[in-house]
């Protein structure tokens, strides 16, 4: 009897399992900078083949998530909302890798953190959804942070990368909004299709000859962990906790992504990134905490 009680005391609740899964997803996402710095191939090749591996590894969990591989699910990608999801995801993935190649990892991470506020703005513009004042205030602070980062990059050689990061963030914000326009559109089929479409679009511009064993391994790991496994872990973990808490754990990515590159590759972010990133991180955390407190009430 005592042994059974002890076993139960060490058991994890559904909430604890959710936290572990979301933390694992965040760690997988935060490794993007490491993968991009380990690659020795050009950006076009990285965009194409990372997407291929991501799509292949996402095929397996797609049998068990969002209703499985039903015909209805896959027919949905041919609807306007499904095609819009595919276009936004393809553009977002291309901008993501391009940004990692042309600006600092820290800049990409902190600019990407503004996606929820851009989504709120798009929701107001496209759906006339009401935007709370606290969201507008946090979004304004994030915009100021982005202006600090991008403004310091003008003439510094990373302006294009920062704009690509902003393009990635805006297109990802559209991915958030599209299901609100059509709640029936599933995300996994369009994600898989966009992965193979990205390969078809960008492989002709790349160089397969530059892919030695080292690059193949890194790209396979990049696509498997950062593209597919992280998504599956987050979807599984977020079911067992309030959305605000899952989002709060996810903000660790803003800190961890540049930290890994700083530790392993001595890539020190510029001072403007520290200043702008501090503004963005503070605004994001403040907004999530306020939302969590109001949700608790």
**CB-CB neighbours of 213 under 10 Å:** 7
Query: What mean pLDDT, rounded, does the chain reach?
Result: 85
Residue spans of the domains in the chain: they are 17-292
Residue 155's SS3 state is: coil
226, with CB counted inside 10 A (0-12, 13-18, 19+), is buried
Local structure of 230: helix, strand or coil: helix
User: If we measure between CA atoms, which residue out of 8, 233, 211, 253 comes closest to residue 111?
Assistant: 253
pTM (2 d.p.): 0.85
pLDDT at residue number 8: 47
Question: Is residue 219 within 8 Å of 65, Cβ to Cβ?
Answer: no
Rounded Cα distance between 234 and 21, Å, is 6
Give the C-alpha distances (Å, rounded to integers) separating 227 from 97, 138, 149, 224: 12, 28, 26, 6
Residues of the chain with pLDDT under 50: 1-10
CA-to-CA separations, 137 to 169, 279, 280, in angstroms, rounded: 19, 12, 12
Q: Provide the pLDDT for residue 1.
A: 45
Crossing angle of helices 80-102 and 43-62, in 10° steps, is: 130
| DSSP class of 103 | S
**Per-residue model confidence (pLDDT) at position 2:** 45
């Amino acid at each position: 009897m005592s042994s059974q009680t002890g076993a139960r005391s060490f058991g994890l609740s559904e909430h604890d399992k959710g936290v572990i899964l979301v933390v694992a997803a965040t760690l997988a996402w935060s490794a993007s900078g490491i993968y991009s710095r380990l690659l020795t191939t050009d950006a076009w090749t990285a965009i194409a083949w990372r997407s291929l591996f991501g799509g292949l590894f996402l095929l397996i969990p797609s049998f068990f998530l969002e209703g499985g591989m039903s015909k209805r699910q896959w027919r949905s990608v041919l609807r306007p909302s499904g095609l819009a999801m595919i276009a936004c995801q393809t553009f977002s993935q291309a901008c993501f890798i391009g940004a990692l190649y042309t600006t600092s990892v820290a800049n990409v991470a902190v600019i990407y953190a503004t996606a929820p506020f851009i989504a709120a703005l798009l929701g107001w513009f496209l759906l006339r959804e009401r935007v709370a004042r606290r969201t507008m205030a946090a979004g304004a602070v994030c915009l100021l942070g982005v202006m600090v980062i991008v403004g310091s990059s003008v003439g510094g050689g990373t302006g294009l990368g920062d704009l690509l990061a902003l393009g990635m963030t805006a297109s990802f914000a559209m991915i958030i909004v599209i299901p609100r326009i059509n709640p029936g559109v599933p995300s996994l089929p369009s994600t898989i299709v966009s992965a193979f479409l990205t390969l078809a679009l960008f492989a002709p511009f790349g160089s397969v000859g530059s892919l030695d064993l080292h690059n193949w391994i890194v790209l396979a790991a990049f696509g498997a962990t950062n593209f597919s496994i992280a998504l599956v872990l987050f979807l599984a973990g977020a079911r067992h906790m309030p959305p605000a808490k899952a989002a709060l754990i996810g903000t660790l990515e803003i800190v961890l992504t540049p930290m890994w590159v700083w530790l392993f590759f001595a890539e020190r972010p510029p001072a403007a990134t520290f200043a702008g990133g501090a503004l963005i991180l503070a605004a994001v955390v403040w907004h999530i905490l306020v939302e969590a407190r109001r949700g608790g009430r």
